[in-house]
Structure 1
Amino acid sequence: MTQAPAAGTPDAAEDPRYEAAIFPVFLLQTLAQVAASRGIEPQTLCRGLGFHAEDLDDPAFRVSYRQASLMIRRALQLVPGDGLGLAVGNRNVLGTLGLLGHAVSLCPTLGDAFDIGMRYQVVAGGITQSSVRLSGNEVWVEAGFRFPDVEIQVFAVEELFASLLVYGRSLVGKDFTPLRVELAYPAPAYAAQYGSLFGCPLRFGAEQNRCAIEARWLMHELPNHNPLALKQVLALLETEHTQVRQKLDLAATVERAIERALRRGPSLEHIAGELNMSSRTLRRRLGEQGLSFETLLNNVRRTRVMSLLMNPELPVERVAEQSGYADVRSFRRAFKRWTGVSPSEFRQ
């Protein structure tokens, strides 16, 4: 029996990237370990998804986003206890990142490790799309999403920021601690776990998911730096990255351009101009990948809308404005088309 996509999830018929087997299974392997420690057989999480628990031990094995998201959704339903994303992230080690983990450990400074991590994050199997932004004496690590999959966004954010803490302490020592963490969703019942894990001020109901660290950490020299070994590992990473990017590059570039212009209601002509090509060329090149500009615009808008709606204090009018809609009425129509319910019903 075919499982229909849940509210806020991407439609495989609209976006062929949803079915592309490009995601390494490192995250799913850790998820299976956490599930096993809580009494759930890993095979139960994999059943019917097109792979077996044993496949998660193969570093060369790849799954699609659809498969990964369904396994995570199933774990959230079956695995007892709260804060599953925190538990998975906290269980990670640098080796969980595979070849990328080896590369960041060989970097000269933590700042270089961040650069490498962001550049090659797609080969590590994460379901978020992170970015790093320097602001004065602070560095913000911001969590974005590859697809507007609201059901697993909390899990994804928890896993990302808990992992960031683990990786940072593995590289520079136990004193590595965030300045503060902001989450774009209400405080869950297990919010105390966040405080115990991160040991810094927390803000729920923020406008976006992000974590601040002191900029001075970027200059911290790493003990295992080896220029020759790093060069060799980066060559291998680049080969793997190129293979993935060939499937994702154009779509990701267009989506980034749409994100930058989202509040202005970007058009095909505007985005094509940003990318130094004609609108006809852009439409043709997207068509060659089975995509359309309208699909990508909808994906970006849905991702932004779902993230903003997780903040219960943000008015619907503000959500519409920040998502590039000319008026609230057109926003409500689009949202009802995506989910079958109104924005206020969705929040409830």
Structure 2
Amino acid sequence: MHAISDTRITSADVPPHIIRQVMHLIRDRGYTPERLCKGLGFTLDDLQNKDFRVSYRQTSTIIRRAMRLLNDPSIGIATGSRQTIASFGLPGLGMLTCRTLGDAFQYGIKYQIQAGSIAQVDYSADERRFVIEASMRFYDPELEPFFVEEILVSGVAMTRALVGERYQPLRVELRYPRPSHAVEYGRFFNCPVSFGASANRIISDRFWHDIVLRTYDEFMMQSLQESIDQLLGREKPHDELIESILTVLRASIDETPRFDEVARLLNFSERTLRRRLTGLNVSFQSLIDRARYEYSLDLLERTRLPLNQIAMATGFSDSRTFRRAFKRWSGKVPNQMRAPGTADALAHSHDPERRALNGSRD
């Protein structure tokens, strides 16, 4: 049974790291990965966007399709073994700044959602050993082996990257019955593996926990982690439908697509898309406004473009209409969002909107 009675499955709050690796795997095995995205509200190009997020529903659908296409139940191991430190994004870079392997695990677990984890990962340690445990956030027995394989295998691959290939666990315990591809576990983990256990976990000698990482720099650790923490702290979850619509709108912000065009791109009928948005208490216009506001704010903060060019870049016919919309969105005039010194420099240029940039108009 594939249905999961949990409204969180449509919360698009996870970077698509797993989907990216599955797509690489599909391509490496000679198939075209584009068709796996059909009807899910995104394309392969969207996977390159650092701000793009996916839901459990989207991720699990891709995995099921990949399993059927490849006729291979062991792709969780193949997917996890492809992961590198960089695959975890900013949390992975933060782990590189840590002093010991144990510190790195604790840092990664703190930001496991931002690192793309679908499973829930927990950590514990005592004087003799340390344990990494994985459990499912969603009840989905069919895909539990995949997600547990992916997170535990990627964790071991990452550990070997941090402390060397000589690392191996004491043992691996898995909650589900022995699968048909169980031999692959022994080959990768290189330690005893048991099934039907009380939990999914990797148990390792405490020795590895306390190893100082070669990437550790005591003078840079704090400042680097503060910068990464600040970036990670800005992320907020979205519903997968809202995220999909915003992705379409951001791709053509200067020529905003009509509602029927967005519905077609997302493989919805207009009626269905309108009903879904009504259920979320969100209007299509509010999403257009949000996409325009985000882009205009980015241009104001990062560039010295005059206001009339920013207006055109965000789909407005003139700068006056843009100023009024921006004030409605933010409660401020565009000039107030400029980086320090930018507004003054523009005010003395030949920009015909300099009076507005100086705040003399609304």
Q: What is the TM-score of this pair, normalised by structure 2?
A: 0.62
Quote the Cα distance in structure 1 between the aligned partners of 2:29 and 2:161.
Answer: 26
Which residue, 16, 33, 36 being the options, matches 1:25?
16
Residue equivalent to 1:105? 96
User: 1:169-219 deviations in whole A, cap 9, x for unaligned?
Assistant: 100011111110011111111111111111100101111111101111111
Alignment-derived partner of residue 10 in structure 1: 4
Q: Say whether 1:43 aligns with 2:37.
A: no
Q: Distance in 2 between matches of 1:227 and 1:59?
A: 29
Question: Residue type matched to 1:10 in 2?
Answer: I
Letter in 2 for 1:86: I
Contact 1:120 1:237 in 2 (8 A): no
Tell me, in whole angstroms, the C-alpha distance in 2 between the residues paired with 1:232 and 1:10.
Answer: 42
- The 2-side partners of 1:29 and 1:195 are apart by 26
Aligned to 2:330: none
**d(CA) in 2 for partners of 1:56, 1:127:** 17
Paired residues of 1:84 and 1:155 also in contact (CA < 8 A): yes
Q: Distance in 2 between matches of 1:246 and 1:188?
A: 34
Corresponding position of 2:184: 193
Percent of pairs with identical residues? 35
- Note closer, same or farther for the CA distance 1:25–1:173 as it changes in structure 2 (3 Å cut): same
Local SS of the residue matching 2:121:
strand
CA RMSD of aligned residues (A): 2.3
Query: Aligned AA for 2:149?
Result: E
Decide which structure has the larger Cα Rg and report it: 2
What is the CA distance between 1:239 and its match in structure 2? 3.5
**Conserved in 2, the CA contact under 8 Å of 1:187 and 1:205?**
yes
Q: What does residue range 91-170 of structure 1 map to in structure 2 within 5 Å?
A: 91-170=82-161
Counterpart amino acid of residue 122 in structure 1: I
Distance 2:43 2:224 in 1: 29
| Cα distance change on mapping 1:136 and 1:231 into 2, 3 Å | closer
Report the Cα distance in structure 2 between the residues aligned to 1:135 and 1:245, rounded to whole angstroms: 34
Residue of structure 2 aligned with 1:66, choices 57, 74, 95: 57
Task: Indicate if the aligned counterparts of 2:12 and 2:237 stay in contact, CA closer than 8 A.
Answer: no
Q: 1:205 aligns with which of 196, 208, 230?
A: 196
Moved more, 27-36 or 74-83: 74-83
Once the two structures are overlaid, the 10-residue window that deviates more, 58-67 or 191-200, is 58-67
Residue 205 of structure 2, aligned match among 214, 236, 239? 214
Q: Distance in 1 between matches of 2:21 and 2:80?
A: 8
Match for 1:77 among 62, 68, 79?
68
- Please say which of residues 184-193 and 235-244 is displaced more in the overlay: 235-244
> Counterpart in 1 of 2:284?
none
Secondary structure (helix, strand or coil) at the match of 1:132 reads: strand
The question of whether the paired residues in 2 share the 8 Å contact of 1:59 and 1:98 is answered with: no
Deviations 1:315-334 (A, max 9, x none): xxxxxxxxxxxxxxxxxxxx
Give the equivalent residue in structure 2 for 1:294. Answer: none
Q: Say which SS state the counterpart of residue 223 (structure 1) adopts.
A: coil
| Aligned residue type for 1:76 | M
Normalised to the residue count of structure 1, the TM-score between the two structures is: 0.65
Q: Are the aligned partners of 1:99 and 1:233 in contact in 2 as well (CA < 8 Å)?
A: no
Instruction: Letter of the 1:18 partner, please give it.
Output: I
Are 1:238 and 2:232 matched, yes or no?
Answer: no
Q: Which amino acid aligns with 2:40?
A: L
User: 1:97, 1:230 → 2: CA distance?
Assistant: 18
* Deviation, structure 1 residue 156: 0.4
Q: Give the Cα separation in 1 of the matches to 2:43 and 2:11.
A: 18
Over residues 237-290 of structure 1, what are the superposed CA-to-partner deviations in whole Å (9 max), with x where a residue is unaligned? Answer: 433543457889xxxxxxxxxxxxxxxxxxxxxxxxxxxxxxxxxxxxxxxx99
Higher fraction of helix: 1
* Mapped contact 1:131–1:143 kept (Cα < 8 A): yes
Between the two proteins, the alignment pairs up a number of residues equal to 241
Q: Aligned ranges for residues 164-183 of structure 1 at < 5 Å?
A: 164-183=155-174
8 Å contact from structure 2 (residues 11, 237) kept in 1: no
Question: How many angstroms does 1:57 deviate by?
Answer: 2.0
| Structure 2: gaps (5+ residues) | 240-279, 282-362
SS state of the match for residue 207, structure 2?
A: helix
Post-superposition offset of 1:72: 1.5
Instruction: Give, as a single letter, the amino acid of the residue that structure 2 aligns with 1:226.
Output: D
Cα distance in 2 between the residues matched to 1:102 and 1:229: 13
- Cα distance between partner residues in 1 of 2:224 and 2:39: 35
| Pair 79,72 (structure 1): closer, same or farther in 2 beyond 3 Å | same
Judge conservation of contact 1:26–1:59 (CA < 8 Å) in 2: no
Matched, 1:53 2:44: yes
The 1-side partners of 2:223 and 2:18 are apart by 25
